[in-house]
Structure 1
Amino acid sequence: MATTTLSSRDFNQDTGRAKQAARKGPVVITDRGRPSHVLLTYGDYEKLLGRGTSLLDAIAQQEGGDFHFDPPRVEGLSKPADLDA
């Protein structure tokens, strides 16, 4: 994954280039030579947050195919069965 650095001036003059670079990796945008912002694709942003494909997104897909769905485990909603009763 390549990291690209652009000045805020370069970013403002050519956002298309920044968006293209973000497909290859993070784009660090600098103000007066200091890092100030990072541009990511939305997919990379969701990975950073630990989000995957939601069930709603999977159901709404137009094309067929398999997908990986691993819902988070919810603790404390169930209790063990009482087999002595």
Structure 2
Amino acid sequence: MKLLSSREFNRDVSLAKRAALAEPVLITDRGQPTHVLMSIAEYRRLTGEGDNILEMLAMPETVAIDDADAASDGAWDHREPLA
């Protein structure tokens, strides 16, 4: 894994992007790791996310709604009930 300080990253973002095509780039701030830059292909491989546009646009599965939620008008009311 390639290491770049925040200063080096800011100075040459193109270098970091090119390096990230080969391997993840660890970006440090004051010697501590803060971010990781990687190619989108590597990100998708790690997350299992497909790069098929049809998969990205697919509707998520339906979820069941509790009976208590069905009785409300759908608006979120964060106020406490009056005593």
TM-score (norm 2): 0.61
The whole-number CA distance in structure 2 between the counterparts of 1:38 and 1:53 is 21
Note the alpha carbon deviations across 1:3-62, whole angstroms, 9 max, x for none: 1100000000000000000001000000000100000111111111112342627xxxxx
Alignment partner, residue 48 of structure 1: 46
Q: How does 1:1-85 map to 2 (within 5 A)?
A: 3-54=1-52, 56=54
Name the counterpart of 1:67: none
1:4 and 1:16 map into 2 onto residues whose CA distance is: 14
**Number of equivalences:** 56
Percent sequence identity over aligned pairs: 49
The DSSP-based 3-state class of the residue aligned with 1:46 is: helix
CA RMSD of aligned residues (A): 1.8
2:44–2:51 Cα contact (<8 Å) kept? no
State how far apart, in whole Å, the 1-side matches of 2:51 and 2:7 are. Answer: 35
Which runs of no fewer than 5 residues in structure 2 stay unpaired? 56-83
Give the unaligned 5+ runs of structure 1.
Answer: 58-85
| In structure 1, C-alpha distance between the alignment counterparts of 2:21 and 2:10, rounded to whole Å | 18
Give the TM-score normalised by the residue count of structure 1.
0.60
Q: Which has the larger radius of gyration?
A: 2
